[in-house]
């Protein structure tokens, strides 16, 4: 079932499949984040989780989360513009712009986090 769901035929199907995948990643992160916040009532557990999340290894997961969030948001705006009927003749240019803008914002956000 999953293989059929993520079997893009065209580049537009790939963009839509990635939209779904990033939505699942963000929903999973939201659940983890809420579970993380529920540890606030136990200071010892909260401090141990803080030590894990500020580790350099965790930065890679943050980078993937940033990429998923940025792509999901930018591609969502592209889909909204397309569904409203604007720029139908420029679908490929919009998709390329979406990918370029996603990576530029992602690189900038990683730069800001590392500093």
Averaged pLDDT for residues 83-111: 94
Percent of the chain exceeding pLDDT 90 equals 57
pLDDT-derived band at 24, boundaries 50, 70, 90: very high
Q: What is the mean pLDDT of the chain?
A: 90
pLDDT in tens, 27-80: 999 999 999 888 889 989 989 988 988 888 888 899 999 999 999 999 999 999
Question: What DSSP string describes 37-106?
Answer: HGGGGSHHHHHHHHHHHTSTTHHHHHHHHHHHHHHHHHHHHHHHHHHTT-SGGGHHHHHHHHHHHHHHHH
Question: What is the rounded CA–CA span in Å between residue 15 and residue 107?
Answer: 20
- Give pLDDT, residue 106: 97
Question: What is the rounded CA–CA span in Å between residue 69 and residue 72?
Answer: 5
CATH of domain 13-114: 1.20.1300.10
Per-residue pLDDT at 1 exceeds 60: no
Whether 25 and 65 have beta carbons less than 8 Å apart is answered as yes
pLDDT-derived band at 5, boundaries 50, 70, 90: low
The SS3 of residue 8 is: coil
Domain boundaries, given as residue ranges, for the chain: 13-114
**Number of CB atoms found within 10 A of residue 70's CB:** 19
Per-residue pLDDT at 6 exceeds 80: no
Tell if the pTM clears 0.85, that is, is over it: yes
């Amino acid at each position: 079932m999953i293989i059929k769901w993520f079997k893009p035929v065209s580049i537009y199907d790939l963009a839509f499949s990635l939209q779904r995948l990033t939505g699942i990643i963000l929903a999973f992160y939201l659940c983890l984040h809420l579970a993380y916040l529920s540890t606030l009532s136990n200071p010892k557990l909260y401090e141990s989780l803080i030590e894990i999340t500020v580790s350099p290894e965790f930065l890679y997961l943050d980078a993937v989360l940033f990429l998923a969030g940025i792509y999901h948001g930018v591609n969502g705006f592209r889909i909204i513009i397309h569904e409203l009927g604007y720029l139908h003749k420029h679908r490929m240019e919009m998709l390329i712009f979406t990918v370029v803008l996603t990576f530029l914002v992602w690189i900038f956000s990683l730069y800001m986090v590392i500093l």
